[in-house]
Chains A and B, each alone.
Chain A
């Protein structure tokens, strides 16, 4: 039976309780949703109501921007750059897990220019973070104006870049299929890094609109079985990927499928996998504040359910099932 177990990515962290608790909109706590009694279905190991009470009924402080230094900028293609940024240890060590991301911005830009970028790699000895950025719109173009030795503003840490994190955490001694397309290759690196030692990994790479694989350095560093193919065509899974999934689930006893690509690919993939394995995927929601306030990521579902995808942790199928347009 399908049953959605939800979580809040920030619950139990230094960023909980947040502004949602102040306005009776907490994702998890019934008492902080305006109800009179506990109904704690989705327990995270800490009583948010108690934390809120001990914090004098106000939210904990928000994430702040700090200065980082661009120590390398590589122009991979005309619209694709790789940045390595020196940050502080406190922030860097919070960005090691899959799903971590930060907001980047030029120091002279207003906070409206904050653009969420997934962490590709994180070196906690040197306190550097590496990321690949597609230069697409107003925010990323502004970031692209910066060069090596320039200061860049980093706001973080944020962690909800991947849905189904608990399924990833459960992967030990498993056969795991990772699928990445285009820019999705970058955020799959921390997933690969987290899983390759204790699991057998097959990594399907679809280069998307780029000529070549953009994470070669990492697939050499974290050995896995690589399959290069086209994943999607005219909104449908390609025959290649479709039969690969069937074959791999049957022949290679794949127990987990992770996808880092566009929503249309993830959605098709979930239908294809059809609960035969556990799943996880990247979070493609438009994220502007990352803290549940701005509303950019809120998504409507049947039954008047609103999900704040910047904070809500759930399994991939529940991101698409019963989704409504407004």
Chain B
């Protein structure tokens, strides 16, 4: 049985791992020359409810990627406004570690292979078409192409291409595979009638910051600097993808996190104004290169899906990550991807597809987003374990916990322990 995954970011990799563990042959097609996509500039794990989700994934048998990010963690249990016990992995170390791990599992990775279309027979996809016309067949397909960019979208719905890590001009734009298969995309909104949202952070080269800032970053993992009053822009918070970071503190302060580079927790910030801040006089953007002008635009390309991650209307297409909804973050991508990978094999075997119960954080997030995204109000929200509306719900439903044993027991009680780790073929 062959599972074909389109997009080698966190979600695609998570899907590849669970599909492989379930017994499938797995191929990943990624348009750039690196795996991880936006994971190459992310870095924040285990903050707030993500801690629960990370431990839950481990208990469910899909902890591989969590263990890898843990292994290259630079700072553990740090606090920044609104966020507790965050772990920061080193974005400059993670990709080769993940690539080696995934290859060792026997998953085939095809880099610089942009997928542009599908071939269908009825409601079933029989294969994908690569940029050069090559035809790749498979039994089940998982789309994890994300919802970011490409350039034309970043221009129409944002401030234009800001040269982010996805590097569309170099490797070609993302194509929505589900839309190519005839299922129209859904869009998130940042305010009434305005589609998409800006990515929420930038990377500054640490060597371009003052010695004092660097020292504090290295020691504490976080630096908070007050923004001059005249430069505070609360309006910008509305545009942000990451509503968990759209707090007043993030508008009034420069918040830097040490993820290898200095992660600046704002969508974009004019370079001249940034350089007015003490210790940042020589600051230079590393990602996006034009972080002074804008950032990538997201949530323009989501597939309607069921809670088992199957795309509506297509028999053998699954989705994960931002492609599957208004999710934010690596942990969320790994969660949705893991379920998609596992269910692609179940589908092939004719088994009932797995829907994670709402008594798990992962299952509840997937089902809550699925319900909310169809409402007008819900389209303007993002869903993450790390904050905003969903973290409030997590606490209300008593799903939030940092007690590993409690989380394990919860999973055990549901008979779901290691469910993603077991071979079913």
A39 interfacial by beta-carbon distance below 8 Å: yes
Nearest Cβ distance between residue A109 and chain B, in whole angstroms?
A: 42
Q: Do the beta carbons of B300 and A5 come within 8 Å of each other? A: no
Known: A3-B117, A43-B172. A49 touches B152 (CB 8 A): yes
B175 interfacial by beta-carbon distance below 8 Å: yes
The contact of A46 among B149, B169, B180, by CB within 8 Å, is B169
Total interface residues on A, CB under 8 Å, equals: 20
Chain B residues within 8 Å of A46, by CB: 169
Chain A residues within 8 Å of B129, by CB: 1, 3
B12 interfacial by beta-carbon distance below 8 Å: no
Q: Do the beta carbons of A47 and B179 come within 8 Å of each other? A: no
B161 interfacial by beta-carbon distance below 8 Å: yes
Stretch at the interface among B131-139, B235-243, B255-263, B267-275: B131-139
Q: Do the beta carbons of B132 and A5 come within 8 Å of each other? A: yes
Chain A residues within 8 Å of B175, by CB: 39-41
Chain A residue nearest to B151 in the complex (CB) = A47
Q: Do the beta carbons of A29 and B152 come within 8 Å of each other? A: yes
Q: Do the beta carbons of B155 and A43 come within 8 Å of each other? A: no
Chain A residues within 8 Å of B169, by CB: 45-47
Chain B residue nearest to A47 in the complex (CB) = B151
Q: Do the beta carbons of B173 and A40 come within 8 Å of each other? A: yes
Q: Do the beta carbons of A37 and B153 come within 8 Å of each other? A: yes
Nearest Cβ distance between residue A175 and chain B, in whole angstroms?
A: 21
Nearest Cβ distance between residue A29 and chain B, in whole angstroms?
A: 7
B114 interfacial by beta-carbon distance below 8 Å: yes
Q: Do the beta carbons of B151 and A37 come within 8 Å of each other? A: no
Q: Do the beta carbons of A38 and B150 come within 8 Å of each other? A: yes
Which parts of B152-180 form the interface with A (CB within 8 Å)?
A: 152-153, 155-156, 160-161, 168-169, 172-176, 179-180
Chain A residues within 8 Å of B168, by CB: 47
Q: Do the beta carbons of A47 and B152 come within 8 Å of each other? A: yes
Chain A residues within 8 Å of B179, by CB: 39
Chain A residues within 8 Å of B133, by CB: 3, 5
Distance between Cα atoms of A49 and B149 in the complex (Å): 13
Q: Is the interface of A mostly helix, strand, loop or mixed?
A: loop
Chain A residues within 8 Å of B300, by CB: 37
Nearest Cβ distance between residue B233 and chain A, in whole angstroms?
A: 25
Distance between Cα atoms of A250 and B119 in the complex (Å): 31
Total interface residues on B, CB under 8 Å, equals: 31
Q: Do the beta carbons of A38 and B173 come within 8 Å of each other? A: yes
Known: A41-B116, A43-B114, A47-B169. A3 touches B152 (CB 8 A): no
Q: Do the beta carbons of B156 and A49 come within 8 Å of each other? A: yes
Chain B residues within 8 Å of A1, by CB: 119, 127, 129, 135
Distance between Cα atoms of A29 and B173 in the complex (Å): 11
Distance between Cα atoms of A41 and B156 in the complex (Å): 18
Chain A residues within 8 Å of B150, by CB: 38, 40, 47
Distance between Cα atoms of A31 and B149 in the complex (Å): 13
Chain A residues within 8 Å of B11, by CB: none
A172 interfacial by beta-carbon distance below 8 Å: no
Nearest Cβ distance between residue B371 and chain A, in whole angstroms?
A: 25
B185 interfacial by beta-carbon distance below 8 Å: yes
The contact of A47 among B161, B176, B185, by CB within 8 Å, is B161
Task: Encode contact with B along A28-39: 1 for CB under 8 Å, 0 otherwise.
Answer: 011100001111
Chain B residue nearest to A54 in the complex (CB) = B160
A50 interfacial by beta-carbon distance below 8 Å: yes
Q: Do the beta carbons of A41 and B117 come within 8 Å of each other? A: yes
> How many residue pairs between the two chains, A and B, have CB atoms under 8 Å in the bound complex?
71
Nearest Cβ distance between residue B298 and chain A, in whole angstroms?
A: 13
Q: Do the beta carbons of A43 and B127 come within 8 Å of each other? A: no
Nearest Cβ distance between residue A32 and chain B, in whole angstroms?
A: 9
B301 interfacial by beta-carbon distance below 8 Å: yes
The contact of A38 among B117, B119, B152, by CB within 8 Å, is B152
Q: Do the beta carbons of B176 and A49 come within 8 Å of each other? A: no
A53 interfacial by beta-carbon distance below 8 Å: yes
Q: Do the beta carbons of A50 and B152 come within 8 Å of each other? A: yes
Nearest Cβ distance between residue B120 and chain A, in whole angstroms?
A: 12
Distance between Cα atoms of A30 and B116 in the complex (Å): 13
Among A38, A46, A49, the most chain B Cβ lie within 10 Å of the Cβ of: A38
Distance between Cα atoms of A46 and B179 in the complex (Å): 22
Q: Do the beta carbons of A39 and B131 come within 8 Å of each other? A: no
Chain B residues within 8 Å of A39, by CB: 175-176, 179-180
Distance between Cα atoms of A29 and B127 in the complex (Å): 24
Distance between Cα atoms of A46 and B119 in the complex (Å): 26
Nearest Cβ distance between residue B82 and chain A, in whole angstroms?
A: 33
Q: Do the beta carbons of A49 and B301 come within 8 Å of each other? A: no
The contact of A43 among B135, B161, B173, B176, by CB within 8 Å, is B173
Chain A residue nearest to B115 in the complex (CB) = A41
Nearest Cβ distance between residue A114 and chain B, in whole angstroms?
A: 34
Chain A residues within 8 Å of B152, by CB: 29-31, 37-38, 40, 47, 49-50
Distance between Cα atoms of A226 and B185 in the complex (Å): 56
Distance between Cα atoms of A42 and B132 in the complex (Å): 10
The contact of A40 among B161, B172, B301, by CB within 8 Å, is B172
Nearest Cβ distance between residue B136 and chain A, in whole angstroms?
A: 10
Chain B residue nearest to A44 in the complex (CB) = B172
Chain B residues within 8 Å of A36, by CB: 156
Chain A residues within 8 Å of B155, by CB: 47, 49-50, 53
Chain B residue nearest to A40 in the complex (CB) = B173
Distance between Cα atoms of A250 and B314 in the complex (Å): 43
Nearest Cβ distance between residue A85 and chain B, in whole angstroms?
A: 38
Which parts of A168-189 form the interface with B (CB within 8 Å)?
A: none
Known: A40-B173, A41-B175. A49 touches B135 (CB 8 A): no
Nearest Cβ distance between residue A21 and chain B, in whole angstroms?
A: 12
Q: Do the beta carbons of A37 and B185 come within 8 Å of each other? A: yes
Nearest Cβ distance between residue A46 and chain B, in whole angstroms?
A: 7
Chain A residue nearest to B185 in the complex (CB) = A37
Chain B residue nearest to A53 in the complex (CB) = B155
Q: Do the beta carbons of B151 and A49 come within 8 Å of each other? A: yes
Distance between Cα atoms of A56 and B137 in the complex (Å): 43
Nearest Cβ distance between residue A167 and chain B, in whole angstroms?
A: 11
Distance between Cα atoms of A49 and B150 in the complex (Å): 11
Q: Which residues of B contact A (CB under 8 A)?
A: 114, 116-117, 119, 127, 129, 131-133, 135, 149-153, 155-156, 160-161, 168-169, 172-176, 179-180, 185, 300-301
The 5 lowest CB-CB distance pairs between A and B, nearest first, are A40-B173, A1-B135, A47-B151, A49-B152, A38-B152
Q: Which residues of A contact B (CB under 8 A)?
A: 1, 3, 5, 29-31, 36-43, 45-47, 49-50, 53
Q: 15 A–B contact pairs at CB < 8 A? A: A1-B119, A29-B152, A37-B176, A37-B300, A38-B151, A40-B172, A40-B173, A40-B175, A41-B116, A47-B152, A47-B155, A47-B168, A47-B173, A49-B151, A50-B152
Besides A1-B127, A37-B156, A39-B180, 11 more A-B contacts (Cβ < 8 Å) are A1-B129, A3-B133, A5-B132, A31-B152, A37-B152, A38-B152, A39-B175, A40-B175, A41-B117, A43-B173, A49-B156
